[in-house]
């Protein structure tokens, strides 16, 4: 059962650093997660006051980079290097692994500002981070030691797990993250669905699955931002997000290392499930930086139903 903050209750005046110390024995991991949390203060400022235009460069996927993408990437990278515990860094905004220190303890893959193209219409965006205790970042997502995201919405919230449950924090007026929800748990089945990609490019299996959800009375909730869309499914504990295999894109659009692995880790920690439609996301062996995969992620029974339709109809 998700424990929710009660206003004024002392238990929930717990800030991120204290929560980590009380639940996470590894001081280096606590330090790394707090550095990432600190970076968000500067990213928030760049979102609110920064240049919304193009940076004049493009990323590994050939997509135009926004000035905000480049600035957020620089902010986060600087804090990771400053943490003193990082070996390698991989950012969705750069084309190769950044080697920080050969004896560094952790390797970090991140999307510094996912959904950045939504900032100019004032929709919520987020930072997504995946952490391995290794110099090798090309491991299946099941080997992550932590994952987290920061959501820049009406509230700035932070969700993390180090393998001992999923916990949500909100940034207060002092820009500290204080505990809101501890041990977030998802229901077995939900009532919302968040369908990515062009519907006319859905395969028969996905199309039939959507019709099944609609007949079940599920409501469509989709913002186009991966972080807020996942956050809604995860924290309401109900429903499914999917960006499926499309007829012209068999591997879908979303990136395995920067988007799918960290979110799959968090959702599984909350009792949910994350699949390509055919296999567990966290079991995928990354082949390259730009790996993409289809994803069905959310309530366990909803994901299993999607897998049934994909198995039967493709």
Interface with ligand AFP by CB under 6 A: which residues?
63, 114-117, 196-197, 224-226, 243, 253-254
CA atoms within 13 A on the CB side of 290: 9
- Determine how many CB atoms are found less than 10 A away from the CB of residue 74: 15
The least CB distance from residue 149 to ligand AFP, in Å, is 11
Closest to ligand AFP by CB, 117 vs 178, is 117
The least CB distance from residue 241 to ligand AFP, in Å, is 8
The least CB distance from residue 284 to ligand AFP, in Å, is 18
Closest to ligand AFP by CB, 84 vs 224, is 224
Closest to ligand AFP by CB, 193 vs 226, is 226
- Nearest C-alpha neighbor of 193 from the set 236, 154, 245: 236
Strands 156-161 and 3-4: unpaired
The least CB distance from residue 297 to ligand AFP, in Å, is 11
The least CB distance from residue 125 to ligand AFP, in Å, is 8
Closest to ligand AFP by CB, 106 vs 243, is 243
Shortest-Cβ-distance residue relative to ligand AFP: 226
Closest to ligand AFP by CB, 32 vs 151, is 151
Tokens 């919520």 belong to residue = 124
């Amino acid at each position: 059962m998700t424990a929710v903050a009660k206003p004024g209750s002392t238990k929930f005046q717990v800030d991120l650093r204290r929560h980590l110390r009380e639940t996470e024995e590894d001081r280096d991991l606590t330090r790394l997660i707090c550095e990432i949390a600190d970076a968000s203060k500067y990213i928030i400022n760049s979102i609110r006051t920064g240049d919304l235009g193009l940076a004049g460069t493009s990323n590994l996927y050939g997509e135009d980079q926004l000035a905000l993408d480049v600035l957020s990437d620089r902010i986060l990278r600087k804090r990771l290097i400053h943490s003193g515990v990082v070996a390698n860094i991989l950012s969705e905004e750069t084309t190769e692994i950044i080697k920080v220190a050969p004896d560094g303890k952790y390797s970090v893959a991140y999307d510094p500002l996912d959904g950045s193209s939504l900032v100019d219409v004032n929709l919520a965006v987020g930072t997504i981070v995946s952490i391995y205790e290794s110099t090798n970042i090309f491991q299946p997502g099941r080997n992550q030691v932590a994952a987290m995201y920061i959501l820049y919405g009406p509230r700035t919230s932070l969700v993390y797990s180090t393998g001992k449950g999923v916990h949500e924090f909100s940034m207060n007026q002092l820009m500290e993250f204080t505990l809101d929800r501890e041990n977030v748990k998802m229901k077995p089945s939900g009532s919302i669905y968040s369908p990515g990609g062009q519907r006319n490019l859905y395969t028969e299996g996905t199309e039939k699955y959507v019709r099944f959800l609609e007949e079940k009375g599920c409501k469509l909730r989709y913002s186009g931002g991966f972080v807020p869309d996942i956050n809604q499914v995860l924290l309401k504990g109900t429903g499914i997000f999917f960006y499926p295999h499309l007829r012209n894109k068999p591997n879908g659009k979303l990136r395995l290392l920067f988007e799918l692995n960290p979110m799959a880790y968090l959702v599984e920690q909350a009792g949910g499930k994350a699949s390509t439609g055919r296999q567990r996301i966290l079991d995928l062996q990354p082949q390259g930086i730009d790996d993409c995969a289809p994803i069905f992620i959310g309530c366990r029974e909803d994901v299993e139903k999607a897998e049934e339709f994909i198995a039967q109809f493709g």
